[in-house]
Structure 1
Amino acid sequence: MITAYQYKLRPTKQQAIKIDRWLSMLCSQYNYLLADRFDWFERNRSPVNACPLVCHLPELRDNPDYYSQKKTLPSLKKTHPWYAEIYSQVLQDVVKRVKVAMTRFLKGDSNGKRSGRPRFKQRSRYRTFLYPQIKNDCLQNNLINLPMLGKVKVILHRPIPDGFKIKTVSITKKSTGYYATLSLEDATVPTIKPDFNPESITGIDVGLKEFLTTAQNETVAIPQYYRKAQKRLKVIQKRVSRRKKGSNRRLKAIKSLGKQHKKVADKRKDFHYKTANSLLKKYDVIAYENLNVKGLARTNKAKSIYDAGWSNFLSILQTKAENAGLLTVAVSAYNTSQNCSACGLKVPKELSERWHTCGCGCSLDRDHNAAINIMNRGAGQPLLKASAIRCLENHGNQSVHN
């Protein structure tokens, strides 16, 4: 199992200056390597048999790839000696970033989905560098030992769990300071706990009227953190737009805007974690809709959907359930609000209709009806049925031994 813990750093003034200088140099190198890739495509994209009769063919060279660009780093340190102060593996990771960006652009990710053309990074948008390998004992008390940076003070608000090994460390500069993200690996694989109860199941229907409604008709109010912060954000954004580009006063206003956005994001994240924990304390199985949030966000409800953060919440819920040995089940979202939870018949209704009424006598809130449908579909999943059989067998074996 791999997880990540993030801690705030308290670097000295000299260390903070060094981190900023590293980020500036790494950003320049990223842009140079990306430009080298684009330059090769511009010079070699026309096939020879399509050239005019009279033309000047440039000197052809091999397509720059991960390995050829990695070989240029030693000569870079000779021509630009200031790059020698950057840890070698941190500099090599920049080449890997360029490789990943170009691969996603040309070939797509593991699912075949291609991203847009990679863009050159502004200095203000290059905020992270990575140590791909680091000693497991780099964290001692309230200090973390980073190669070529030295020992940096860290606020260790929670200890590293026993058995976990530190694999990588990434340093990020945010509006509120510097942070270290530790990638931790544990050899053990979380499994469903032995006393897992498949009958303790619920379905959740996420929405914009209430953040979620369970099959037991429990509701969680939607907090709308971004909506509530809009007035303050508007004032700071106006302050940014009125100040001269490149000035120190504009940079100060941008930093203030970033702090306000981070405050909203932190509140939302905290709400998601607390909501997920409260659900997992009550239920062993939680069924939810497999929503296409990006598609839903193309409507006029985009701001409210992104403010709710459904995707982040469901991701947190899945992770917390796995760590607790519990189960989450994704079901189809097709007609969960239209079908009757009592008889199964389809009862068409507009989005503005918030009450479900069926001829069979079923009358309840639209979201409550959808949550029951989601729970019923989750209970019929093969994974849950197999888990129920396994749990019954375990209880039977225990009773025999008793």
Structure 2
Amino acid sequence: MRLAYQYKLLPTTEQQTTLNRWLDRLRHQYNWMLADRFDWWEMNRCAINSCPLVCSIAEPREQPEYYGQKRALVGLKQDRPWYKEIHSQMLQDMVKRVKLAFDRYIKGDCNGKKSGRPRFKGAGRYRSFTYPQALIDWIDGNKIELPKIGRVQVIWHRPLPTGFEVKSAIITHKADGWYVTLSLQDDSVPESSPDVDWDNSVGIDLGLKEFLVTSNNERVEVPQYFRKAQKKLAKLQRFVSCKQKGSNRRKKAVNRVAKLHLKIARQRKDFHFKVWSWLLEKYDVIIHEKLNIKGLAKTRLAKSVLDAGWGQFLAIGANKAERAGKLTLPENPNGTSIDCSGCGERVPKPLADRVHCCPNCGLFLCRDLNAAINIKKRAVGHQARQLTGNVLAVVESHRRSPRCTA
């Protein structure tokens, strides 16, 4: 099992200068190696018998690849001695980043989905470097010994879990300072599916009017952190537009905008963790919708969808459930809002209609609650009329409401 624990660093002024210098040099070399791959690709990507009539003939040379670019680091240190001060494994990790970015563009990921053309990193866009072989021995009291940097003070806001082995350390520069992310692994934790109690399961329906509704009619309001901070963000962005480009005042104004975005992201992440802690404390199995978040982010609801952070929420839930020995399951959401959770009859309704009203069985309840019940029923394998336990109680309580007509 792999975990990531992040802590804030308090480097000295000299150490901050070293860290910024390393990031800038790694950024330059990243851009050079990415450009080298692009140059070869543009010159050699078509077969010689299918080249256009008018084209430039490239000099024959080997295709830039991962191991070849790693071997080139030896010559780099001879031609540019100032690269010798950077830890060798950081340079190797930089080559790996070039490989991953270019491979996702040319070949795609494991599912065959290709990413866009990799962009060159501008000033301040290369924000982290990695020690791939970190050790627990680096930690000494309230400090951590980073190779070629020295002892750096750390704010240990929570202790490291016992029994885990430190695998790597990532040093990241954010708007409010420097952070170290320790990747931990414990081989004693099994990777197989946990043995859970399916009777203690719940379905959740994610939404924008309410963040989620459970099949037991429990509701969590959507916080909308970004929308609440829009006025302050607009004011800070006006300050940026009034400053001269390249000036120190503009850099400070940009940093204030970055800090506000960082605060919004942290508020959203903290909210997601608290919601999952509440869910996993009550239930063993949580069934959620398998949403097409990228598709929804291209619609008119894009700002609200991204502000809710559904993708991050589901990723956090899978990780926390694994650590707690519980289970999260994705379920196809197609038709969950249309199908009646009482009789299975399809009741088409527009998105603006927030109430489910079945003319067949008279069930009258919230549209999101109806979807949450259907999500749970699909996962646990219940038929249309087979409702158990608390789901039946919720449906019956709403069945007492006045019947409606379609």
- TM-score, scaled relative to structure 2: 0.90
Partner of residue 386, structure 2: none
Rounded Cα–Cα distance in structure 2 between residues aligned with 1:333 and 1:135: 44
The correspondence of residues 104-253 of structure 1 with structure 2, limited to 5 A, is 104-190=104-190, 196-253=196-253
Rounded Cα–Cα distance in structure 2 between residues aligned with 1:358 and 1:134: 60
Q: Deviation string for 1:26-70 (max 9, x for gaps)?
A: 000001111111122233345444568898744311111111111
Q: Deviation string for 1:337-387 (max 9, x for gaps)?
A: 011000001000001111111120111111111111111112129xxxxxx
Rounded Cα–Cα distance in structure 2 between residues aligned with 1:258 and 1:76: 34
Identity across aligned pairs (percent)?
55
Q: Does 1:69 align with 2:30?
A: no
Distance 1:90 1:197, change over 3 A: same
Rounded Cα–Cα distance in structure 1 between residues aligned with 2:246 and 2:41: 33
Q: Deviation string for 1:306-340 (max 9, x for gaps)?
A: 10111111111121111111121211101100110
Q: Deviation string for 1:107-166 (max 9, x for gaps)?
A: 111111111111110121110001111223111211111111111111111111111011
- Secondary structure of 2:173's partner? strand
Distance 1:77 1:199, change over 3 A: same
2:337 alignment partner AA: S
How far off is 1:87 after superposition? 0.5
Distance 1:28 1:344, change over 3 A: same
> How many residue pairs were aligned?
380
Q: Does 1:93 align with 2:93?
A: yes
Partner of residue 41, structure 2: 41
Distance 1:63 1:344, change over 3 A: same
Rounded Cα–Cα distance in structure 1 between residues aligned with 2:159 and 2:267: 23
Partner of residue 374, structure 1: 375
2:375 alignment partner AA: I
- Secondary structure of 1:75's partner? helix
Q: Does 1:365 align with 2:344?
A: no
Rounded Cα–Cα distance in structure 1 between residues aligned with 2:335 and 2:303: 24
1:362 alignment partner AA: L
1:29 alignment partner AA: Q
Distance 1:56 1:166, change over 3 A: closer
- Secondary structure of 1:125's partner? coil
2:59 alignment partner AA: E
Partner of residue 344, structure 1: 344
How far off is 1:11 after superposition? 0.4
Q: Does the aligned pair in 1 maintain the 2:194–2:327 contact within 8 Å? A: no
Q: Does 1:23 align with 2:12?
A: no
The correspondence of residues 265-344 of structure 1 with structure 2, limited to 5 A, is 265-344=265-344
1:61 alignment partner AA: R
Q: Deviation string for 1:159-186 (max 9, x for gaps)?
A: 1111101101010000010000111111
Q: Deviation string for 1:216-272 (max 9, x for gaps)?
A: 111111110000000001111122223222221111111110000000010010000
Q: Deviation string for 1:68-112 (max 9, x for gaps)?
A: 111111211121111110001111111111111111111111111
- Secondary structure of 1:216's partner? coil
Partner of residue 81, structure 2: 81
Distance 1:358 1:16, change over 3 A: same
Instruction: Specify every segment of 5 or more residues in structure 2 that has no aligned partner in the other structure, as ranges.
Output: 383-406
How far off is 1:189 after superposition? 2.6
Instruction: Specify every segment of 5 or more residues in structure 1 that has no aligned partner in the other structure, as ranges.
Output: 382-402
